[in-house]
Amino acid sequence: MNEIPSSFTGQRGSLTQNAGIGQGPVPLYPYRSQAFFELERDRVFRRAWLMIGRVEELPEAGCFIVRQIDPCAVSALITRDKDGKVQAFYNSCSHRGSKIIDVAEGRQTRFACPYHGWTYANDGRLANIPDERNFFDIDKATCGLKQIATEVWDGWIFVNLSSPPEVTLAEFLGPFRDHLAGYVYLGADTPVIFSATLNANWKVVSDAFIETYHIPFIHPKTIGPTFASDENPFGRFLTAKTLGPHGYASMYGNSGYATHPDHHVERIAYKAAASVISAAATNETEAFLCHPAVNPTASASWSMDDNLLFPHVQIGNGPGGFWTHHFWPLTVNTCRYESRFYMRPATNMRERFQHELYVGRVIEVILEDLKNVSTTQEGIDTGGQEFMQLQDSEICIRHNVSQIIRWAEAATVKEALS
Ligand code: FES
Ligand SMILES: [Fe+2]
């Protein structure tokens, strides 16, 4: 039997070879070293632009959200002011540092610190100090909330904890920006959110979502029959590319898959859907599916794409729309994971039913992945292995780890990006 090519349509090892990122073993110390964790925090998470949400979460002036940037212990208050501008601030009072807000989101244009009532406008200005005359020539103009550098690209909100950031968001995104430019974000204002705290280094969890080699072993009964088949039993990628520190992989789908005739519930639910891994109907997804970043090889055997937004985000897209995964380091061997699956609200019972089934199915698959991460970490922590042996379908892991190491070692962001 001829060997199946490494990318489903290419030559053995071709994706990794074409990317020019080496083919040797990849070290495991970034997954268990406390010293590396601290470098990663200071040189990756404190220097990179971090995607923390979408503008739809702040639909009107006066809306706000609070986001935790876990590795750096930063609580960020993100507001939309009366001019529509989205800005982020440290959630910390200029008086004695207290957190000024302790809810995840809401709508208010003024924020009063609970400790002594200093009050801030949603553009960060300090508006009022109770008993101001008992202070000593205090200059209110210099006592606003401390800003965090914020930029918005295609609806995504990014923050940067360097003051000032070494590079612009456009420089940071580089070719990734062109890759996704004009992408149609279906149902961007109505995500279903799934989150968990896990006993694994954040990269162990991130790695679990960017390779398909594990599908026949971890997901034999769920997505096994849709993401692999007799012609491609290990679900090798259709293609994958690096784009600066970012990248993408396009994944194989079994075009011969059909819902079993006895699975009546599934057959009713997916009657109008673009695919069984979709929550949208075909008539909604036309513009989205035409985008060149969606199914970039225009394959009839396509399931989904994973867009890797360095350092810790994946933006997935499938036949029905998009979703995101965030992987936030907490300690060297714990992390917070959050997924958001975007879909527009159901307009009738059948759609509602389809959405519920889709979400249930997605969570079942995610739980299969997550069940494996703590034991993977325990194995890594034994110290018995120094390296990972990665194959071509694990190109995204190789790229991400090598970029993390590169940023951790680089004196400047410009050097890391060069
Ligand atoms: S710490 Fe905020 S008003 Fe005192
Ligand atoms: Fe998986």
User: Is 98's C-beta closer than 6 angstroms to any atom of ligand 1?
Assistant: yes
Rg (CA), the chain: 23
Each residue's pLDDT tens digit, 322-369:
999 999 999 999 999 999 999 888 888 888 888 888 888 889 999 999
User: Which of the two residues, 9 and 19, has the higher pLDDT score?
Assistant: 19
What is the CATH architecture assignment of 52-164? Answer: 3-layer Sandwich (2.102)
Domain ranges of the chain: 14-34+176-417, 52-164
CB hemisphere CA count around 243 (13 angstroms): 21
Ligand 1 atom nearest residue 94's Cα: 2
Cα atoms found within 13 Å of the Cα of residue 44, Cβ hemisphere only:
26
CB 210 within 8 A of CB 397: yes
Please, are residues 334 and 197 in contact by the beta-carbon 8 Å criterion? yes
pLDDT above 70 for 260: yes
Q: Residue 63 C-alpha to ligand 2 middle, in angstroms? A: 36
Relative to the alpha carbon of 370, which ligand is closest? 2
In this structure, which ligand is nearest to the CA of 215? Answer: 2
Cβ distance 159 to 90 under 8 Å? no
User: Does residue 300 register a pLDDT over 60?
Assistant: yes
Place domain 14-34+176-417 in its CATH homologous superfamily: Naphthalene 1,2-dioxygenase Alpha Subunit; Chain A, domain 1 (3.90.380.10)
Any atom of ligand 1 within 6 Å of the Cβ of 373: no
Q: Which atom of ligand 1 is nearest to the CA of 96?
A: 1
**Residues 33-50: what's their mean pLDDT?**
98
Q: Which residues contact 167 (CB under 8 A, 6 or more apart)?
A: 413, 414, 417
Q: If you take atom 3 of ligand 1, which residue's CA is the nearest one?
A: 116
Of 3, 113, 54, give the one whose Cα is nearest residue 326.
54
| pLDDT tens string 196-229 | 999 999 999 999 999 999 999 999 998 888 889 9
Distance from C-alpha of 122 to C-alpha of 150, rounded to nearest angstrom: 14
Averaged pLDDT of the chain: 92
What pLDDT score does 1 carry? 36
Q: How far apart, in whole angstroms, are the C-alpha atoms of residue 405 and residue 399? A: 10
Alpha-carbon distance values, 307 to 70, 199, 323, 407 (Å): 22, 25, 10, 20
Q: Is 145 a pocket residue for ligand 1 (Cβ < 6 Å)?
A: no
Q: Ligand 2: distance of its center to the CA of 212 in Å?
A: 7
281 C-alpha to center of ligand 2: Å?
Answer: 25
Global pTM value: 0.94
* Among 175, 172, 212, 203, CA closest to 395: 212
Please report, for residues 186, 285, 292, 303, 319, the alpha-carbon distance to residue 289 in angstroms, rounded to integers and kept in the order given: 11, 6, 8, 12, 7
Tell me which residue has tokens 């079994």.
254
> 119 CA to middle of ligand 1, Å?
9
